[in-house]
Amino acid sequence: MKQIEVTYRPIPFLRWQRTAKGAHPAAWEEVNARQLLAIGALLKGAVTEINFLHVMTSLKKRTLKKMDEYQRFKLSELLEFTKERNPHNSFIVHRIMAAGLPFTAPQPKLKGMPFGQFVYTDSLFSDYQEDRT
């Protein structure tokens, strides 16, 4: 995560400035589960720019609303890596809890995954791709 420090004017017509600190991921490997959901919601148009930047930079919504459009644009430029569509050799979300059960992703490049488990998982994924259920 890269640290950021933003200076903004809480009241636009006054010269008084405030500073806010936050952090943002610099690569896919640094994205957490909440940020990954925010990226997906942004691609679907289901989240506002303020909410997206709040999740990605950990800056307060109140602070982001007081920034001008150019400052928010510059913040969004820090997240250019999200436009990459290259395949990855590891899972971004390593562990998920669903219905009280933990589900753990395989290691990078499927290291340590038995062949039988891979074949079973691959066939289930192929079925999902065909009918999306």
Q: Say which range, 10-14, 52-56, 72-76, has the weakest mean pLDDT.
A: 10-14
Tokens of 25: 């991921």
| Cβ atoms 52, 34 nearer than 8 A | no
Mean pLDDT of all residues in 69-96: 84
DSSP code string of 41-73:
HHHHT-S-HHHHHHHHH---HHHHHHS-HHHHH
Q: Give the single-character DSSP code of 125.
A: H
Provide the β-strand partners of residue 3. 23
The answer to whether residue 133 scores a pLDDT higher than 70 is no
Whole-number pLDDT of residue 95: 83
Structure-derived torsion over alpha carbons of residues 91, 61, 50, 37, reported in degrees to the nearest 10: 20
Whole-number pLDDT of residue 10: 86
pLDDT-based confidence at residue 4 (cuts at 50, 70, 90): very high
Q: Angle at Cα 84 formed by Cα 48 and Cα 130, nearest 5°?
A: 85
Mean pLDDT of all residues in 92-120: 85
Residues 25-56 as b or e (16 or more Cβ within 10 Å = b): beeeeebeeebbebbeebeeeebeebebbbbb
Mean pLDDT of all residues in 69-80: 93
